[in-house]
Chain A
Amino acid sequence: MSTAAVHSLWTTAAEPISKIDAPKIEYGQLSPTLIVIGAALVGVLVEAFVPRKSRYYTQVFLSVVALAAAFAAVIALAAGGYGTTKAHIAAMGAIAVDGPSLFLQGTILLAGILGVFTFAERRLDPEAHGNRVDSFAAQAASVPGSDSEKAAVRAGFTTTEVFPLLLFAIGGMLVFPSANDLLTLFIALEVFSLPLYLLCAVARRKRLMSQEAAVKYFLLGAFASAFTLFGIALLYGYAGSVSYATIAQVVDGTIPNVDPALAGTMGNDVLLLIGAAMVVMGLLFKVGAVPFHMWTPDVYQGAPTPVTGFMAAATKVAAFGALLRLLYVVLPGLRWDWRPVMWAVAIVTMLGGAIVAITQTDIKRLLAYSSIAHAGFILAGVIATSPDGVSSVLFYLGAYSFVTIGAFAVVTLVRDAGGEATHLSKWAGLGRRSPLVAAVFAVFLLAFAGIPLTSGFAGKFAVFKAAAEGGAGALVVVGVISSAIAAFFYIRVIVLMFFSEPRPEGPTVAVPSPLTMTAIGFGVAVTLVLGVAPQYFLNLASQAGVFVR
């Protein structure tokens, strides 16, 4: 066969293909996601080829470097004006590169780095057979209590797969708030959800509880995803497209040319309303809004605490980002329909979270209900439907995620013979024995409660202000009442820590490695800086608060 013939064969075969335009991918603008996903894939290879002894260090190093590089890329993009003037829609309409995207991606990446730090903590659990261990099971696949589990522990196995799983989850979360069509949205949802289900299952202690939590999370998550997918299908039926821009045009009635094949269903408002409600429901499930919140306490309690901390922070950021984009870019023409419903959701979420938290006795469940109440507060800002609403939500998410990671990191420190001592009664008198840890936790609780000079106050003030200016005064009243109810149980923990007699065989506070200390220290620093001098960050959030359409 001659080269010419081969060449000719190539050209013949390629001829019809060349009529399809090659997709134009702006790799530079997608680099944060690409770096993280790439590192996750490398992490899988590490698990396969690097000797067991070195895997932990390799994975931690790889993860931190990848997340830092991705964060640097986000900063570079923001500095290059992609958050403001050069914001546009990349990857053939699939990904929006704009202010909210970059702001939320930056927040998720920072939370991710702190998450890696807490994941990598190996000084808290007592050594097992001379091996330092972390919060994760020796071998996740072994049945709890079985001989194979014992053998794995004896051998000093650790589940270093958590790092690539974490990176995959972060990769999905980076795409989620910037997804600009429904399919990308759905895929991102699954990409970050599946690793989280797995991460929830791999606790070293209380493994059955952990696995139960993971199964519940998976089942309910799949259920929610099914609704979302159904909703996407209905929206496609309504608009003939999954693209946000097109759907928005159809909603507004400004679509230039209608495909005759779709003319039958297109513009059917029933499809639109049902579809939108179902997609929104999927996102409300992820943020943990009432009545889609019931997985939250069980999963937060059962999951390994570092995973809970990361998940509570980053999932909320990603999901609220996606919700904002959906409501502000796709459905602004529909806001007179969704606003009253979202009002109701926000109210029951704020009140429900705050009220049920009162009777909780486990610190992780308490923080879970607290996160539900906070989801309600953030929803109040979402409902404002104004640029201020967007920027206040961005600010709130940034402030909240660092408080959350810090608070759960503190929870990992307070331990007794059975591992983490999460029952509240065991925290009595902690302030006498470990004043520093108790004081740090008190700072986080005050931030959750929204006391001035903490980031919680600045955030809450911003969302309530936006909501009030957006005509949701009643919502603000409910929000303030819920805050008052919520303050009760936050302050109760502080009172318990500082004004109760310590128990004789109470828990001890383990001295962590610099990794966890960094995570906690960063959390405290952000909490106080955003509380004392929030203006710079509020400005940043308001610059970033414009969606590209």
Chain B
Amino acid sequence: MENLIALLVAAPLLGAAVLLCGGRRLDAVGHWIGTALAAASFVIGAILFADMLGKSADHRAMSQYLFSWIPVEGFQADVSFQLDQLSMTFVLLITGVGSLIHLYSIGYMEHDERRRRFFGYLNLFLAAMLLLVLADNYLLLYVGWEGVGLASYLLIGFWQHKPSAATAAKKAFLVNRVGDMGLSIAIMLMFTTFGSFAFGPVLGTEGHPGLVGGATEGKLTAVALMLLLAACGKSAQVPLQSWLGDAMEGPTPVSALIHAATMVTAGVYLIVRSAAIFNAAPDAQLVVTVVGAVTLLFGAIVGCAKDDIKKALAGSTMSQIGYMVLAAGLGPIGYVFAIMHLVTHGFFKAGLFLGAGSVMHGMNDEVDMRKYGGLRTYMPITFVTFGLGYLAIIGFPGLSGFFSKDKIIEAAFAKGGTEGWILGGAALLGAAITAYYMTRVMIMTFFGEKRWQPDAEGHEPHPHESPRSMTIPMIVLAFGSVFAGGFFSIGDRFLNWLEPVTGHSEGNSPVSALTVTLATMVLLVVGAGIAYAQYGRSPVPVVAPRGSLLTRAARRDLLQDDFNHVVLVRGGEHLTRSLVYVDHTLVDGVVNGTAASMGGLSGRLRKLQNGYARSYAVSMFGGVAILVAATLLMRAV
């Protein structure tokens, strides 16, 4: 059974190779090949899952050794896979949602002449993401990590004829590089500290404590902070959050799959996978929770001000991942809920994005919600599925988000002390804001009067329901949005499933679970109510009003780009300019000066060669005199 693990990665990798190297003759069938191989990977994942369920909880982890990758004395890196409950969860999420989005893309990308290439990139992404979650050491994980970065870059910039898309791709790549540096430094630190970077030896396995136990807390904190930096880059957490909003320039299925459901959660995976390191570095854990709390508010505030439906959802994604990071930073109290929220979020956020894509599809690719309105009757399936996703994300009782988010808020309070109150309070506030901005999106898109505008070429929009290849994935994801949370939580199924890997502890909540749930409900109603009052009771202006200072700042993503520009870009420019100056004056000066002085010396020595045999003879005589004298002198000394 272990031998199937490599096939999980191999199937989409094969698809990518065939589609990207196959050339035009595959244009007609390329999308089916890509979808079939993604589905194949899902089927293999399902088989392995069934096999895993058949075993007892302690014997579920599997591994497969492929080959020795870098065999150097004292530095051993293998290509080998590890499939435990945590990886399995991700495999099912990635291949399941991935397959649905492949299916959706067949319809969505129907009129794009580079559709085959698009599916090649999607398959490449699946292969890299699966490699990331299946690797049994950090170096191989890094390969997958870079691979998803590459696929993300290619797909954000897929419509490369648009300068904004090309810029957004570059921005995402550059910001991600900062995080990648963190991961590579973390791996180097691990190698110097532990002499290894494989999960088993470093983190420990059942009954074998890892090398983590032997390291000082300072070193572990350094490793953990570097891992956190990596996670911030990939998962768009403050301070490396700025790329995610721009990444919405990519085709909507990409936003759904990569920038909502899977890739952006890789940072959460990294932290949860490295639990042993973080558990031993409480200071780093505190930083993780702070990053999570700040981001969850940051993303929520940005989401409130955006009129672009995808950017509003992107802000929401950032905020929801903030919840997961917060939970992951809480340690064993939160790991399971971080992953659970990750999975439910994968369902409802992918569903929301696909819904947004469906709306855009019907509205001539318009993304400004102020030019939507009243779409519920024109696109009933989209409305219902989007609506279910909406209810799930705001945490409507009984739906997926309710279970997973509520647990995180409880866990934040359970952290205890002042920290617990602050973190719990932030999480509660975030829930209220979530209700506000999602209600706003819902009302502006599907309710109210029509505010449709003709597009740049003067075509009036004719909203219509999307083809079945698009609606089916939306319906499936809507089912997940509704039922997944309940399924996981009733009888603590998810907790029991994941606990052998991540461990779990209950914590000491100062407030009861019921109080938290009630408070959440109240805030939810308040948030949604304010949104209804603002957007449902009075008409929505087509041109955005000037708004308050906060609104304006939030529209500019809370000035993140301005901050980066002033601090990093300007600073970097000054640094490079001074380095160029030093290079020109000092380095080139030394080099050119040496060359010039050699030339001058050459010209002067050349004059000794005057063409007269007599002066040549004198020089020989002088030479011989020196030779003899030196030889005698050597003996005398």
Residue A273 is within 8 A (CB to CB) of chain B in the complex = yes
User: Which of A106-114, A352-360, A538-546 lies at the interface with chain B?
Assistant: A352-360
Residue A435 is within 8 A (CB to CB) of chain B in the complex = no
A297 to B624, CA, bound (A): 20
Residue A141 is within 8 A (CB to CB) of chain B in the complex = no
Residue B628 is within 8 A (CB to CB) of chain A in the complex = yes
> Which one of B601, B613, B623 contacts A216 once the chains associate, using CB atoms below 8 Å?
B613
Q: Is the CB of B605 within 8 A of A352?
A: yes
Q: Is the CB of B619 within 8 A of A294?
A: yes
In the complex, how many angstroms separate the beta carbon of B78 from the nearest chain A beta carbon?
Answer: 35
User: Which of A192-200, A218-226, A249-257, A395-403 lies at the interface with chain B?
Assistant: A218-226
Digitize A258-297: 1 where CB-to-B-CB distance is under 8 Å, 0 elsewhere.
0000000000011001101110110001000011101101
Q: Is the CB of A294 within 8 A of B620?
A: yes
> Which one of B602, B611, B617, B635 contacts A355 once the chains associate, using CB atoms below 8 Å?
B602
Q: Is the CB of A358 within 8 A of B620?
A: no
User: Which of A42-50, A176-184, A335-343, A522-530 lies at the interface with chain B?
Assistant: A335-343
A485 to B608, CA, bound (A): 20
In the complex, how many angstroms separate the beta carbon of A497 from the nearest chain B beta carbon?
Answer: 21
In the complex, how many angstroms separate the beta carbon of B204 from the nearest chain A beta carbon?
Answer: 49
Residue A190 is within 8 A (CB to CB) of chain B in the complex = no
Q: Which residues of B lie under 8 Å from residue A294 when comparing CB positions?
A: 608-609, 615-616, 619-620
Residue A344 is within 8 A (CB to CB) of chain B in the complex = yes
Q: Is the CB of B620 within 8 A of A338?
A: no
A341 to B626, CA, bound (A): 9
Q: Is the CB of A340 within 8 A of B623?
A: no
Residue A537 is within 8 A (CB to CB) of chain B in the complex = no
Q: Is the CB of A341 within 8 A of B627?
A: yes
Nearest CB to that of A295 among chain B residues?
B616
Q: Which residues of B lie under 8 Å from residue A291 when comparing CB positions?
A: 619-620, 622-623, 626
Nearest CB to that of A489 among chain B residues?
B602
Residue B630 is within 8 A (CB to CB) of chain A in the complex = yes
* Given contact pairs A352-B605, A356-B606, A359-B606, A277 touches B631 in the complex (Cβ within 8 A): yes
A215 to B631, CA, bound (A): 31
**Max chain A Cβ within 10 angstroms of own Cβ: one of B595, B623, B626, B632:** B623
**Max chain A Cβ within 10 angstroms of own Cβ: one of B615, B617, B623, B631:** B631
Q: Is the CB of A358 within 8 A of B634?
A: no
> Which one of A220, A298, A360 contacts B617 once the chains associate, using CB atoms below 8 Å?
A220
> Which one of B595, B605, B617, B628 contacts A274 once the chains associate, using CB atoms below 8 Å?
B628
Sort chain A's interface into a size bin.
Answer: 35 or more
Residue A227 is within 8 A (CB to CB) of chain B in the complex = yes
Q: Which residues of B lie under 8 Å from residue A345 when comparing CB positions?
A: 627
B residues 248-305 touching A (CB-CB < 8 Å): none
In the complex, how many angstroms separate the beta carbon of A464 from the nearest chain B beta carbon?
Answer: 21
Q: Is the CB of A273 within 8 A of B635?
A: yes
A358 to B602, CA, bound (A): 6
B residues 576-619 touching A (CB-CB < 8 Å): 595, 598-599, 601-603, 605-606, 608-609, 611, 613, 615-617, 619
Q: Is the CB of B631 within 8 A of A338?
A: yes
Q: Which residues of A lie under 8 Å from residue B599 when comparing CB positions?
A: 358-359
> Which one of B598, B609, B617 contacts A297 once the chains associate, using CB atoms below 8 Å?
B609
A residues 449-495 touching B (CB-CB < 8 Å): 485, 488
In the complex, how many angstroms separate the beta carbon of A171 from the nearest chain B beta carbon?
Answer: 27
Q: Is the CB of A219 within 8 A of B598?
A: no
* Given contact pairs A219-B617, A281-B623, A359-B606, A298 touches B611 in the complex (Cβ within 8 A): yes
A contacts with B: majority SS: helix
Q: Is the CB of A269 within 8 A of B635?
A: yes
Q: Is the CB of B609 within 8 A of A357?
A: no
Q: Which residues of A lie under 8 Å from residue B631 when comparing CB positions?
A: 273-274, 276-277, 337-338, 341
Q: Which residues of B lie under 8 Å from residue A352 when comparing CB positions?
A: 605
Q: Which residues of A lie under 8 Å from residue B615 when comparing CB positions?
A: 294
Q: Is the CB of A358 within 8 A of B598?
A: yes
Nearest CB to that of B629 among chain A residues?
A277
Nearest CB to that of A227 among chain B residues?
B624
Q: Which residues of B lie under 8 Å from residue A341 when comparing CB positions?
A: 627, 630-631, 634
Q: Which residues of A lie under 8 Å from residue B620 when comparing CB positions?
A: 220, 223-224, 281, 285, 291-292, 294
A residues 339-382 touching B (CB-CB < 8 Å): 340-341, 344-345, 352, 355-360
Q: Is the CB of B603 within 8 A of A359?
A: yes
A281 to B625, CA, bound (A): 10
Q: Which residues of B lie under 8 Å from residue A215 when comparing CB positions?
A: 613
In the complex, how many angstroms separate the beta carbon of B51 from the nearest chain A beta carbon?
Answer: 56
> Which one of B624, B630, B632 contacts A270 once the chains associate, using CB atoms below 8 Å?
B632
In the complex, how many angstroms separate the beta carbon of A161 from the nearest chain B beta carbon?
Answer: 25
A274 to B606, CA, bound (A): 30
A269 to B623, CA, bound (A): 21
* Given contact pairs A220-B617, A220-B620, A340-B634, A485 touches B628 in the complex (Cβ within 8 A): no
A277 to B624, CA, bound (A): 8
A281 to B627, CA, bound (A): 8
In the complex, how many angstroms separate the beta carbon of B617 from the nearest chain A beta carbon?
Answer: 5
A residues 482-523 touching B (CB-CB < 8 Å): 485, 488
Nearest CB to that of B599 among chain A residues?
A358
> Which one of B616, B619, B623, B628 contacts A273 once the chains associate, using CB atoms below 8 Å?
B628
Q: Which residues of B lie under 8 Å from residue A344 when comparing CB positions?
A: 630
A431 to B627, CA, bound (A): 45
Nearest CB to that of B605 among chain A residues?
A356
In the complex, how many angstroms separate the beta carbon of A356 from the nearest chain B beta carbon?
Answer: 5
Nearest CB to that of B627 among chain A residues?
A277
In the complex, how many angstroms separate the beta carbon of B596 from the nearest chain A beta carbon?
Answer: 11
Q: Which residues of A lie under 8 Å from residue B628 when comparing CB positions?
A: 273-274, 277-278
Q: Which residues of A lie under 8 Å from residue B606 when comparing CB positions?
A: 356, 359-360
Q: Which residues of A lie under 8 Å from residue B632 when comparing CB positions?
A: 270, 273-274
A216 to B620, CA, bound (A): 13
Q: Which residues of A lie under 8 Å from residue B605 when comparing CB positions?
A: 352, 355-356
A344 to B623, CA, bound (A): 11
Q: Is the CB of A278 within 8 A of B624?
A: yes
A249 to B259, CA, bound (A): 88
**Max chain B Cβ within 10 angstroms of own Cβ: one of A219, A269, A276, A356:** A356
Q: Is the CB of A219 within 8 A of B635?
A: no
Q: Which residues of B lie under 8 Å from residue A356 when comparing CB positions?
A: 602, 605-606, 609
Q: Which residues of A lie under 8 Å from residue B630 when comparing CB positions?
A: 340-341, 344
Q: Which residues of B lie under 8 Å from residue A223 when comparing CB positions?
A: 617, 620
In the complex, how many angstroms separate the beta carbon of A287 from the nearest chain B beta carbon?
Answer: 13
Q: Which residues of A lie under 8 Å from residue B626 when comparing CB positions?
A: 291
Nearest CB to that of B597 among chain A residues?
A355
In the complex, how many angstroms separate the beta carbon of B609 from the nearest chain A beta carbon?
Answer: 6
Q: Which residues of A lie under 8 Å from residue B598 when comparing CB positions?
A: 355, 358, 485, 488
Q: Which residues of A lie under 8 Å from residue B627 when comparing CB positions?
A: 277, 280-281, 341, 345
A residues 222-247 touching B (CB-CB < 8 Å): 223-224, 227
Q: Which residues of B lie under 8 Å from residue A216 when comparing CB positions?
A: 613, 616
Q: Which residues of A lie under 8 Å from residue B634 when comparing CB positions?
A: 336-337, 340-341
In the complex, how many angstroms separate the beta carbon of A540 from the nearest chain B beta carbon?
Answer: 34
A281 to B598, CA, bound (A): 28
In the complex, 13 of the A-B residue pairs with CB atoms within 8 angstroms, ordered by the A residue number, are A216-B616, A219-B613, A273-B631, A273-B635, A274-B631, A292-B623, A294-B619, A298-B609, A298-B611, A341-B631, A355-B598, A358-B602, A360-B606
11 new A-B contacts at CB < 8 Å, known A291-B619, A291-B626, A340-B630: A215-B613, A219-B617, A220-B616, A223-B617, A223-B620, A224-B620, A292-B623, A294-B615, A298-B609, A341-B627, A357-B602
Instruction: List residues of chain A with CB under 8 Å of any chain B CB.
Output: 215-216, 219-220, 223-224, 227, 269-270, 273-274, 276-278, 280-281, 285, 290-292, 294-295, 297-298, 336-338, 340-341, 344-345, 352, 355-360, 485, 488
7 closest A-B pairs by CB: A291-B623, A294-B616, A358-B602, A359-B602, A277-B628, A216-B613, A277-B631
